[in-house]
Amino acid sequence: MAVKKTAPWLLLLLLIAAAGYRAGVKYVWAPGDIAAGIRVKDVSIGGMNKQQAREKLIALQNKMMTIPVTITYKDQCWPLPLREVGLKIDTEETLRRAMNIGHRGSFIECMRLRHRIRKEGYVLAPVLTVDLKSLTAVVERLAGHLNVPAKSAAFAIDDNDRVIITPSQNGQCIDMKQLKLKLEQELLVKEQINLPLTIREVAPEYTTEDIQEMGITGLLSSYTTAFDPALVNRAYNIRVAANALDGLLVVPGEEVSFNEVVGPRSSEAGYKEAGVIVDNEMVKGLGGGVCQVSTTLYNAVLLADIEVVERKNHSLPVSYVPIGRDATVVYGAVDLKFQNNTGRCLYFKTEVSSGQITVKIFGDVSRKKKVVVNSWIEKELEPRVTYEEDENLKKGQEVVKQEGSKGYIARTERLVIENGRVIRRDELPASRYNPVDKIIAVGTAEREPVVTPPAEMVINKKH
């Protein structure tokens, strides 16, 4: 069988094509090169390796720093120094994008794209950013007067217990995020930039309508108790606890704990030692006098027709309120709690003057009704008489060491009156006050002790 020979001209053509293929592969896939014809803005980086292109991009960044930028608002204008706003070209990301051009896709696709870029050119936008924090600092220095803070509405209580509402005011601020976005966009296409500032309205945290919706329109109740200002520590403790309550705002449905609001009665919290009732007797203890604050609050709560959740009376009657209307507190053990059942917000104000503490409760006076609180002794509890032997007294001699006092069971009721008619009667839990035993010391000595005068007295008598 005869072997057909390849024509010389055909072999030459195949060799040329193979060489062209190898050159094309190298031309398309050479690692580290950038396709010829690629520019970043007006800077050519085509045909360069990564390091060469990086240096070009750094130079471009420095050049862009000199672009004149003006920010304006109405008839005001300010030059914006780009060197102070954190302008930066992300060279690595820009290079990554540049080096991907003409290196992705099939051989034929890459050949066609690189050929077109070499012929027509390709402008690649640099990946650049402006630092928002730096930009904000510069713009506030230049045009910070355009930023006007919003003013929230507020209310205050005047000397006549009237609620005065200060209306809210909208503010305004420069929209820095929008300015940053516009600046970054304009830097890509312009060599001179004029940027009008966008002013955004700023709403207050609390509007006038928000304050009105709270429903605090006037005084619901007030209660005052007296104390002796000469008892300095006790008076001081009363003021500390009252200050903790002053300005308390309670939303509808919220339960309030006196102990949580006032906090621990400790020296660290500023309390001093004063008289407190412990085990049916008055002793010294930190925070003495705080119970007068809780008692005053309790009576104001009753008169405002607010629901009492938890309350306990003292073990002995106190002098500053009618029997059955006191409220003792012990941090971590005994509390006074109430719940805002009025449907609107409540605001508490305390006043401490020389010898008096007053608690005032403000709320929605459109729902206010007359409230009367009555209390009375339901039962007297007679004290026991106990005898204690005393060897310092002559046998049969008796001395009263402690005068006893009666105890009581007291009842309290709250009457809600409308148009002169009782529409609700609340029977409050009974208050039990313990009797204090009368203690009599009884002598046990068989004879009176003989007292021998000192020797000096005997000598002096002889002379």
Task: Identify whether residues 249 and 200 lie together within a single domain.
Answer: no
Question: Domain residues for 325?
Answer: 215-365
Which string of b and e fits 21-33 if b means at least 16 CB within 10 Å?
eeeeeebbeeeeb
Going by C-beta distance under 8 Å and a sequence separation of 6 or more, which residues neighbour residue 105? 113
Express each pLDDT in 110-134 by its tens digit.
Answer: 788 887 888 888 889 999 999 999 9
Q: What is the mean pLDDT of residues 363-376?
A: 96
Task: Identify whether residues 124 and 166 lie together within a single domain.
Answer: no
Q: What is the mean pLDDT of residues 42-54?
A: 91
Asked if residue 330 lies in contact with residue 379, where contact means CB atoms within 8 angstroms, the answer is: no
Residue 21 has pLDDT above 60, yes or no: no
In one letter, which amino acid is 161?
Answer: D
The encoded tokens of residue 255 equal 């339960």
pLDDT bracket for residue 454 (50, 70, 90): low
Task: Identify whether residues 207 and 258 lie together within a single domain.
Answer: no
Task: Identify whether residues 136 and 155 lie together within a single domain.
Answer: no
Task: Identify whether residues 227 and 313 lie together within a single domain.
Answer: yes
Residue in 201, 199, 88 with CA at minimum distance from that of residue 135: 88
Task: Identify whether residues 299 and 358 lie together within a single domain.
Answer: yes
Q: Is residue 403 one of the residues assigned to a domain?
A: no
Q: Is residue 224 one of the residues assigned to a domain?
A: yes
Domain termination residue (choose one: 212, 246, 267): 212
Residue 362 has pLDDT above 50, yes or no: yes
Q: Is residue 230 one of the residues assigned to a domain?
A: yes
Alpha helices in 191-289 (DSSP H): 208-214, 232-245, 258-262
Task: Identify whether residues 255 and 126 lie together within a single domain.
Answer: no
Structural domain count of the chain = 3
- Between CA 119 and CA 38 the distance in angstroms is 10
State the pLDDT at residue 447.
65
Q: Is residue 327 one of the residues assigned to a domain?
A: yes
Task: Identify whether residues 164 and 136 lie together within a single domain.
Answer: no
Task: Identify whether residues 117 and 193 lie together within a single domain.
Answer: no
Longest dimension (CA), the chain: 176
Query: Alpha carbon of 109 to those of 19, 23, 105, 114, 398: distances in Å?
Result: 19, 16, 6, 9, 123
Collapse the DSSP code of 176 into the 3-class scheme (helix H, G, I; strand E, B; otherwise coil) and give the result. helix
Residue 452 has pLDDT above 70, yes or no: no
Express each pLDDT in 147-189 by its tens digit.
Answer: 999 999 999 999 999 999 999 999 999 999 999 999 999 999 9
Domain termination residue (choose one: 182, 212, 242): 212
